[in-house]
Structure 1
Amino acid sequence: MADQNKARWEEFLEQQHAYRVNAYKLIYKMLLWCETNETKLLMDEMLHSIFFLAKICNVPFSPAEIIPDNQMLQGLLEKYPRPVKHLSQLPKRTPFSSVLDMVILKEKPENEARVKTSLQDIVNSLDATFPVSSSICVSQNSKDPSSRRHYGVSMSTTGYNPRAIMIAASCCGPWDDYVSGAVMTFLSNKWKMKDTPMFDGAIKLPQYVRCETFDLDTGKKKDPCRSCANMFGLPTEESREWPYGNCAEAESVSNLLRRESEVKRDLMIPSPIGTDEIRKRVQKDVCERLKKVLRNTPLHITWNGDFYTA
């Protein structure tokens, strides 16, 4: 047993080292792209998300451990002082979502192939998988082939707690209500929140919606996992279930529903217990559970519902 625990601890430390190395590389690469106010805001957001996730690990580490070059670190903190000062606020999303938006600004959203290729190049330049997404999803109203693409990436977190925190935070904050409702349907069951009312917020996207996911390592198209099929009614032959809300489909579909009123109007909500009133109650309970989890992190965060704004 002692040998097993030692092996697990050594593996964990290796993962933490990979996080630091990749975080440094991402920061360095994104700094080269910061030419406009919009990209600087994304850089600010990404830094906060990276530093926040580093602080809530079982073995927390500081910005100085991510950026060992003191001159570079001091220059970075002079340009972006706010991220390290507001670590008690939750990020709205994980670091690679900010990277995605940087790439979309650089390549333009209509250039889907170039967006995917640029993200692939970033992923393939890194040593491991943290804090990097493994897949990208593209959602679109396919009635018009030239219609706007809506992108999303999978959660770029390492470890159970950070992923659970960021999925719950996304449900309480930035995601569209229908997407958060679909995720919370399964999240509340998993967390066994006894006083939470029965709720089924699973949705079925209209048949004319294109929702395709691609592996960021190989570039190949991949079937939705069983979790995404359960939540969004996506056809799949995949039997594996990833944690609900972890996959790229959640962010992509959320962006689609926020910006495409026709698609949102044509959604199907199969269950009669998926009403807005019950969803709001479940969301409140999920946010309360999130507060408890945050208090038990190394930062001992007392969260009042605020999200970090770059």
Structure 2
Amino acid sequence: MADEEEEKQIEYLSDGEVFRRNAFILITTMVDLNNLTRQDTSMLVDEILHCLFFLGLINSPPFSPRNLLGDDDDTLEYLENEYPEPFRLYSTQLPRRSPFSCLLDMVVRLYGQEKEDLIKDRLQTVVLQMKERTSSQILFSSTICVSQMCDSCRYYGVSMSTRGRPAGEILVAASCFGYWHRLASDAVMTYYPDKQKKLYFSRNIQLPSNVKCEAFNISEGRPMDPCRSCSDLFGLDTTERKRWAHGGCAEVESLSNLFKEESQVMEQLRPEENVPEENRRRAKMRVFNYLKQELKKFDKFKWDGKIYPDLNPNKI
């Protein structure tokens, strides 16, 4: 009873206020962690700024970079001087992944890939801060996944940290073209964006038995079963009945990072079938056309066809 009364007394912020607050939390956290990390991680600050500015632009209501920075002129001037490209390109180029993925990379760089508990704890601290006074999941991930082959390094991924359907759909497509490993992208494109398996393009993956892939709820720390979509994509065993959108789960990013670095895994992977390159181009064009259709909903974004930053050879 007391909990119910306390719940009623909480004054929840509007979704717009939460979006702006959580964007500011991510930006200031990234700047602080960048100063703590021994290696150069400024590119991650640069990337998250671009991603947040883009998401602010397509948000309803939209937010300018100045809005997201709380009209803090000193912070705005500092970031414009240190990271000019996000301010210049957020209205013409797509981010290649969601913002919490950039934070994950920063935390992994700070602690090292083997410090799983420290990584989870730091992300949990940020998520709990971003969840305050809101019942909406805005700009933070709910799930982290850890993948490993035998005694290899641990490879991490987080679920999509966007607000609303168009943003999530857009970033899944952008990740297929600009961030994920080709095999992970192919598995997602087998189902995306039609939510059912393509008849002409089937690239499901059956993970070998020596690959461990485990997901956890970030704010609560509890293990989570893969959803049905992750079972579709990677053959993961699950008792879960829920099927989230293909490409939105933490497993995709985590396994993609594993595929990028562990050649032994690549030798053991068994995509469901080989397909002609022409069919793959057809699947990519289906995703590309859907992406353009989604972007037409936002008059203020004029896509120049590029993804920011342009680091991945998996071109559109």
Shorter-chain TM-score bucket reads: 0.7 to 0.9
| Separation of aligned partners in 1, 2:124 and 2:276 | 39
2:189 is aligned with what amino acid? M
Number of equivalent positions: 291
| Separation of aligned partners in 2, 1:48 and 1:110 | 29
For 1:70, which of 68, 73, 80 is the aligned residue?
A: 73
Cα pair 1:295 1:302 within 8 Å, conserved: no
Identity of aligned residues (%): 40
Partner in structure 2 of residue 249 of structure 1? 251
TM-score under structure 2 length normalisation: 0.86
2:51 is aligned with what amino acid? S
Q: CA deviation at 1:169?
A: 0.7
- Unpaired segments of 5 or more residues in structure 1? 1-12
> Is 2:94 aligned against 1:86?
no
How do 1:280-295 and structure 2 match up within 5 A?
Answer: 280-295=281-296
Of 75-84 and 29-38, deviating more is: 29-38
The 3 A distance-change label for structure 1 pair 104 and 131 is same
| Separation of aligned partners in 1, 2:244 and 2:15 | 20
The 3 A distance-change label for structure 1 pair 191 and 214 is closer
Cα pair 2:178 2:307 within 8 Å, conserved: no
> Is 2:173 aligned against 1:172?
no
How do 1:57-136 and structure 2 match up within 5 A?
Answer: 57-68=59-70, 69-87=72-90, 88-126=92-130, 127=132, 128=134, 129-136=137-144
Q: CA deviation at 1:190?
A: 3.6
Cα pair 1:225 1:242 within 8 Å, conserved: yes
| Separation of aligned partners in 2, 1:204 and 1:277 | 23
The 3 A distance-change label for structure 1 pair 188 and 275 is farther
| Separation of aligned partners in 1, 2:185 and 2:201 | 12
Q: CA deviation at 1:57?
A: 1.9
| Separation of aligned partners in 2, 1:157 and 1:300 | 17
Deviations 1:8-44 (A, max 9, x none): xxxxx92222111111112112211223562211111
Cα pair 1:60 1:298 within 8 Å, conserved: no
Partner in structure 2 of residue 224 of structure 1? 226
Q: In angstroms, what is the RMSD of aligned CA positions? A: 2.1
Deviations 1:253-291 (A, max 9, x none): 11111111111121122246x455422331133123212
For 1:139, which of 127, 136, 147 is the aligned residue?
A: 147
Partner in structure 2 of residue 264 of structure 1? 266
Cα pair 1:45 1:309 within 8 Å, conserved: no
| Separation of aligned partners in 2, 1:261 and 1:37 | 25
SS where residue 34 of structure 2 aligns?
Answer: coil
| Separation of aligned partners in 2, 1:191 and 1:268 | 21
Cα pair 2:178 2:310 within 8 Å, conserved: no
- Unpaired segments of 5 or more residues in structure 2? 1-12, 312-316
Partner in structure 2 of residue 278 of structure 1? 279
Partner in structure 1 of residue 9 of structure 2? none
SS where residue 148 of structure 1 aligns?
Answer: coil
The 3 A distance-change label for structure 1 pair 188 and 96 is closer
1:160 is aligned with what amino acid? R
Of 152-161 and 34-43, deviating more is: 34-43
Q: CA deviation at 1:67?
A: 1.3
| Separation of aligned partners in 2, 1:191 and 1:301 | 30
Cα pair 2:57 2:301 within 8 Å, conserved: no
Cα pair 1:224 1:235 within 8 Å, conserved: yes
| Separation of aligned partners in 2, 1:187 and 1:52 | 22
> Is 2:22 aligned against 1:14?
no
**Runs (4+) of structure 1 moved beyond 3 Å?**
274-277
